[in-house]
Structure 1
């Protein structure tokens, strides 16, 4: 893929957004537990849900960083399975894609 500047810009913006969101989640997870047992149960359930969201966000962050690395080293847009080019339409729809439609 020759010019990926628009996709790289999109990926960098998404990365910044995700990093900000994970920071907010981490701050929420660091709060001390309430003295009330019932409140602690609610807080722990909320924390468990937040941890799940944080895991999903961190996975996407990793995928975006890898996509940016592929852009940097010139392998972006090449299917990791068959080595054929990934269509621009697919990359626009899913910029972190590593496989073409046939191999996906």
Structure 2
């Protein structure tokens, strides 16, 4: 994983995804902070939606942590190598999961 243009492209991809997730979290925060409906039936539906929004927010936070770690590995020259065994992570795997810290074998 020494090709600089590939590393720049991965960094751009990770950075763009981070911006998307931050926008999603902002939307989730706005929705969760909006006042509930005074109608109890509508309020029940909104409560269910809030649970879904919370799950989306938690998922986004987890992915943001993975992206931050991947960007740090990029800066340290360790990106693209498994954090467990040190093997190179395949380009195909990084195409699917650009923030992954594990090779296919260690991810099992």
TM over 0.5, shorter chain: yes
2:54 to 51, 56, 66: 51
Inter-partner Cα distance in structure 2 for 1:59 and 1:82: 23
The residue number in structure 1 matching 2:96 is: 93
1:25 to 23, 28, 41: 28
Higher helix share: 2
CA shift at 1:93, angstroms? 2.1
Count of aligned residue pairs for this structure pair: 104
Who is 1:75 aligned against? 78
Aligned to 1:40: 43
**Deviation for aligned residue 1:59:** 0.9
CA distance in 1, matches of 2:102, 2:46: 40
TM-score by length of 1: 0.92
Q: TM-score, normalised on structure 2?
A: 0.89
RMSD across aligned C-alpha pairs, in angstroms? 1.2
Q: What's the CA shift string for 1:73-96, capped at 9, x where partnerless?
A: 111111111111112222122111
Name the CA distance, whole Å, in 2 between partners of 1:28 and 1:71. 34
Separation in 1, partners of 2:36, 2:104: 47
User: 4+ runs of 1 displaced by more than 4 Å?
Assistant: none
